[in-house]
């Protein structure tokens, strides 16, 4: 049995949460043009389980831009049933990241 799944073949929610955070951080890093930190998981909805064998994709977009932070909407989709493929939204989240200086203190986001 894979280490990231339960006995039913469903991937653990923690694995999903970690990868959602990473996907949002990629866009957050681009917006901040540098170091960021996750400061809040505002919402996270698990619509369907992710199963071992699903092919997952992540899509991120800026939901809100503040002075020092950016809130990013991340959606996770799973492609399943290879013989008759379907793609379904399995998870979505709103995550807020804050821009940081090299010393770890907050800084303003650069102009858009």
Which DSSP string do the residues of 26-81 spell out, in sequence order? HHHHHHHTS-EEEEEEEEEEE-S--BTTPEEEEEEEEEEE-SSEEEEEEEEEEEE-
**pTM of the predicted model as reported, rounded to 2 decimal places:** 0.94
Answer CATH for 13-99 from 3.10.129.10, 2.160.20.60, 3.40.50.300, 3.20.20.70: 3.10.129.10
Q: For the chain, what are the domain ranges?
A: 13-99
| pLDDT tens-digit series, residues 48-102 | 999 999 999 999 999 999 999 999 999 999 999 999 999 999 999 999 999 999 9
């Amino acid at each position: 049995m894979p280490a990231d799944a339960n006995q039913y073949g469903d991937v653990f929610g923690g694995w999903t949460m970690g990868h959602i955070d990473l996907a949002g951080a990629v866009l957050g890093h681009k917006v901040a043009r540098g170091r960021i930190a996750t400061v809040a998981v505002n919402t996270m909805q698990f619509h369907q389980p992710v199963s071992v064998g699903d092919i997952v994709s992540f899509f991120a977009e800026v939901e809100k831009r503040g002075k020092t932070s950016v809130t990013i909407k991340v959606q996770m989709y799973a492609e399943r049933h290879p013989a008759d493929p379907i793609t379904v939204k399995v998870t979505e989240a709103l995550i807020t990241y804050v821009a940081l200086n090299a010393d770890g203190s907050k800084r303003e986001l650069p102009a858009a």
